[in-house]
Structure formats: C-alpha cells, structure tokens
Amino acid sequence: MRQTSTRREFLGKSGLMAAAIASPLPLWAEATGEVCTFDVSAFQHLDITSAANRTKLWDTFHVLSALQGLANRISPSLYVFYISMHGINVDRFWFDWMQQKCDWPASANTTSLHSIEDVVLRFRDRFKGLVVYDPLVPATSNLASTIAGCADLLPVRFDSDPVSLFHVLSTKLNIPIGCWLVNSDGSSKFTGKGIIPDINESSSGSAKIDAYLWAIRLYLQSGKCDSSMAAYYIDSYWLKNGSNSRSDMHTLTNHDYFISNRAFFFDLSPWGDEQPNDDPAQRIGADRHILITIFSVLSQQMHSKAMIKVGGFPPWPFKYTSSVGCKHAGVPTENEFACVISQFNGYMEADAAGLGAMANASFYRHLPLPSAISQPNPKPTSVDWVRRGHMAPNGTVARKIFMSHYVGDYDSPSWLYQMIPSLFRDLALGSVPLNWAIDPNLSDRAPQALLYAYQNATANDYFITGDSGAGYINPRALSVRPDSKLSSGLSLWMEHCRKYYARWDMSITGFIIDGVAGASTDKEFAAYRAYSRDGIGTQDGPSVGIRSGVAICREHDLPDDVDKAAALIAILVHTDNQPVFLWLRSVLKNPSWYLQLSKLLRSRYPDLPFEVVDAYTFFGLIGKSNEK
C-alpha cells in the first residue's frame, strides 16, 4: 500500500459466470426473516465545518453502527444506505446487486425505517442498554465500542442537552444504562490522577492511557473480547477536527463488523519519541507502550494458532502525523504501525483515510461463497506465450519491453467497496491487460465486491493479491521481532495465506511491503513460494530475477498524471538486446487511464517495442529468461 505519497496525495486534493465457480455450492442462503433498511445518505451533505453538525453525525452513527453489529450478529437484519463514491450510492448499489444477481437475502421481507428512534425500537431485543462515554476523554468512545460488542450495549456520548441523543435514548425511550465511562453528573471517571477506577492501579498521569489500562484489564485480559481481531479507528477526537477530511471519515460505519465480532477497539500512536497531538501531556512513549501491550495480550491469547485481523489505519489527517503538526509524516507512521503489529502476528486491513469508510460489513459477512472460485480466465502457459510471440519455441524470451500493471491498492475492504462499482463499469475495461491487486482476505468483510469483480471481468482482467498477500504485513517482521520477542510467525502466515489464495485462485503476490522491518530475505521468499509460486512484486532488492525459486520484479510507482507516467516509463527503459521487464504500480486508476497511457506510449515512442501483458505471463517470462 502506500510506500509513496501517491495515495495520500490523491486523498488530500453482470450476470453470474458459472465457469468461474469451482464449487457447485449456491451463491445465496435463505434469509431468516425481515431485513430492515435505513437511509442516512442525507448525512453525506451535512456541513461538517459546523461543530453542531459533526456532533449530530457522530452521535447518530456511533449508535447506529453498534446497533447494526448487534442486529446482524446472527443473521443479516439491518442495512444502511450512506456511502457514495463517483456519484454512486455504493451501499444501495451492493444491496440491489445482491438481490438482483445473487437473489440474496432470499425471500426476505424488506422494511424501511425512517429515524434512529425507529431503528432502536425495532431492534430493542438485540441490546440490553447503553454504555455512556465521556466527551472530555475521547478514548472512552473506543472503549464504548469494545463494551458494546462484549456486553450488548449501545455506545452514546454523555450530553446534558435535552435534545441530545443521550437524552432521547435514556429519558425519552427509557433505555437503561448498563455501563458508565463517565460519572453520572458528567464529570470524568478517568482523570489521569490518583487511582484508576475499578482496577486499583496507580494512574499513568494520562486520562487516555488510564482508560486503556482499565479496558485492557476488564475486557481484553479477561477474555471477553475476540482475540483474533482488533479495530484501529479514530476516537471522538474526530469531533475537534473532523473537517480535515471527508464527512464519512469518522469511520464509525466500520465499527459494525468489529462490534459484531466483539473486537477490541483502539486509537494509539505507534511512535515512542514524541507525545501524540491528542494527548500532548502524556509521558513520551505511553501510547506506543499501550499499543504493544494490547498486541502482547492478543498474541498470548491466540497462542500462535492464527493471524490477528486488524481493521483500520493510522488516522493521519487527524492525528500522529506531520499533517497535524507532529514530526513524522504519514508514510513513516504507516510503516511504524505495520512493523509493530507484524511482530505480533497481526495483519492490517487498511481502511486508510479518504476512502476509509465502509458500511454494512456485518451484513455482508453472512453472504455464503463457494469454497473455491477460479480466475475468470485461464492462467497463460508457455504454449500461449509462444503463440503470442512473447517467446520462441526453444524458450528464448523475445527482446521486447514487457510491461505489466499492478492495479491497486486494494488491501482495504473500504477502498475495494467504494471503487469496484465504478471501475468495473468503465467503458475501457478489457482494452488493456490489467492485474487487479486485491488482498483475498477482504472477502471477510466485502465478499460481494470480490465476487462482483470476478463475475464482471473481461478476457484481459486477472487477479493477484495486493500488499503483502492475504493482509498487509511486513514479512521480515515475522522473523525479526524485537518488540514481541515471539518465535517466527512465517509458518502461521503461510497457512493463513494458503487458505485465502486457494479460495480465490491467486498465485501471485503483487507487492511485498518491507517498510521499516528490513528487506525480505531468502527465508521469507521461501515461505511465499508455498502459495505465491507464480511471482512476487518486491519493494527492495534486485530489480528482476529469481528468489528462492520464485520469479520476482521490483515495482515502479507511476505518477497520477498520465503524461508524467508515460515519461517515467520511457526513462526506465534500457535497451541492451535483452528483454526488459517493468512491473508498474498505480493507485486508484480506472481502465480508461491505462488505455490512455498505452496510447501515449505508442504515439510518443513508436520505435520502442512495448508489450503490455498480464501478470501470469509477465512473471512466467521472467522465470523463462532466468532459466539456466
């Protein structure tokens, strides 16, 4: 994902194909009753420069997302319409598509609800009461999401205003309060002074840190949370500077899946050399210490039986980066976080800012999928390469400039969720061979998006993984682990990836991110060979060749501007009577962009023998050209 500023710069400024299904299992399941929908798309148009509007948005979506997670825990029951991208209401797009093309949920009665009170009352049997958190200690909002999943409570911000949602729920609807994270008079329970309530430990000197120490003791160490996952989403500090990004970047809509699964929520800086901007008086390194403590507990409870899913991403437009006055830039902050969690067998599902919002994952998780789904097109073989003129019958690779496009970065369910509807309806789809770099683990939260892409692919569309495989990790941090002191996690990662690669018929890893963990070695490449036998895109090391028996090629990041991208490709070309291989990575580009790039290269450089090929051909030819 984001090892250049490409992503952050961007953000700042149809029928079923039976042949693609390797299993006879149906694509649908019978619904277990009524499905309720709630249209909150009007919130996209709120002016969030207004503090009152931010408050209304935050309070509504925190309650709504938690209620969704609880309502959808057993079966798909509650669906919201909210998120839009490129003029498409993507929530409605997916709901309509699943009903029309998958007949799912099947035979369900659909009822529209019209207010948050309607939703709360309709699903009153799915929760026990409220968990009330402190507006003066933003971290308590993430504690409330954790408790919501563990204790079946709705999280609501304390607010004495009689028109507040807290007042409506607790007084008008008479919902009991099951947990107070603030004193009932509105004074703070966590103060950073004296003894931490309920656990009788001395205060850390920070209300934020005290709150996490309390939650770790009572909800994480106690085993109330599901230790196979965690959720990294911004806390209610968003209310202070939420206008720094899109109105849906509160990412509360992402909470439903993790609340449904009883995950532990957190929002902490990975840096140990400065105080975070949301808690500038805390002891230096306290946030990082709590981050490591959380993952130490999770990894201990998992006993190295499985990898740990981590939803979310450092909230760089709001916290912890130079974007808001801290000393570290966004990409180094991403790298630092990735390195820490990788050492504890954690992998990221990187709902990064800009396109970080996703709704309804707790609903989609119930969509049944076949046990295995084949690539829409057969993977090319040596016979195909000879027939297409890429290789002579004797195995000699043609002296051409072989280009192949890594179409990313889809290591995030939210990015995939928002982008696929417009990308796969682009009129240029199929005009250029494209390699859709989608981490297959995204099928946990957005199964319909992968299914749609596979079913709407053309003869020129292929699927590979995105960043690092079945999740975003730093491979070297599975071997070298100064923070966790754990034994190697490579075998655990191998088994994790085998399952997802096999299910989606992938055998190429588009981009291994080394980050600050160090360059991957033959040990890590040998592990990847078990499931990524057809090729690996790399960040460091040799530009092209074979590592531990696998064809590799170092990626080149293309600029967003198509003219500059064409110029860079021309610079990268070297002609020495040998085949040239260029593995080209671009972020959030549509098929029309790649078609325009191909036309520019042909018109500007007619004497250069450019050949755009699919990834399986590309890495296969690298293997052939390196045979001894």
What residue ranges define each of the domains in the chain, with the CATH number in brackets? 6-13+32-364 (no CATH), 405-625 (3.20.20.490)
Do 465 and 501 form a contact (C-beta atoms < 8 A)?
yes
Please calculate the CA angle 448-449-450 and round it to the nearest 5 degrees: 95
Query: What is the b/e burial string over 267-280, where b = at least 16 CB atoms within 10 angstroms of the residue's CB?
Result: bbbbbeeebbbbbe
Distance of CA 162 to the CA centre of its chain: 38
pTM of the predicted model, to two decimals?
0.94
Residue 458 Ramachandran class (φ > 0 left, ψ -120 to 50 alpha, else beta): beta
Give the containing element (helix H, strand E) for 311. Answer: strand 308-312
Contacts with 575 (C-beta within 8 Å, 6 or more apart), sequence order: 608
Neighbours of 302 (CB within 10 A): 17
From 305, 318, 299, 292, select the one nearest 48 (Cα to Cα).
Answer: 318
Do 367 and 17 form a contact (C-beta atoms < 8 A)?
no
Q: What does the pLDDT read at residue 627?
A: 87
Q: What does the pLDDT read at residue 3?
A: 45
Please calculate the CA angle 33-148-278 and round it to the nearest 5 degrees: 135
Question: Which spans in 481-536 are helix H?
Answer: 490-503, 522-529
Q: What does the pLDDT read at residue 339?
A: 98
Do 30 and 107 form a contact (C-beta atoms < 8 A)?
yes
Sheet holding 35-39, edge to edge: 78-81, 35-39, 110-113
How many residues are given for the chain? 628
Q: How far apart are CA 502 and CA 265, in angstroms?
A: 30
Q: What does the pLDDT read at residue 1?
A: 40
- Give the tokens for residue 152: 């079946």
Q: What does the pLDDT read at residue 13?
A: 29
Q: What does the pLDDT read at residue 386?
A: 97
From 341, 351, 361, 331, select the one nearest 412 (Cα to Cα).
Answer: 351
Contacts with 197 (C-beta within 8 Å, 6 or more apart), sequence order: 189, 190, 214
State phi, psi for 112 to the nearest 5 degrees.
-90, 130
- Give the tokens for residue 604: 């500007």
Please calculate the CA angle 365-370-375 and round it to the nearest 5 degrees: 110
Q: Which residues of the chain have pLDDT under 70?
A: 1-32, 575, 628
Q: Which residues pair with 111 in a beta bridge?
A: 36
User: What are the DSSP calls for 167-221, one per residue?
Assistant: HIIIIIS-PPEEEESB-TTS-BS--SSSEETTTTEE--S-HHHHHHHHHIIIIIT
> Which DSSP state fits 360?
-
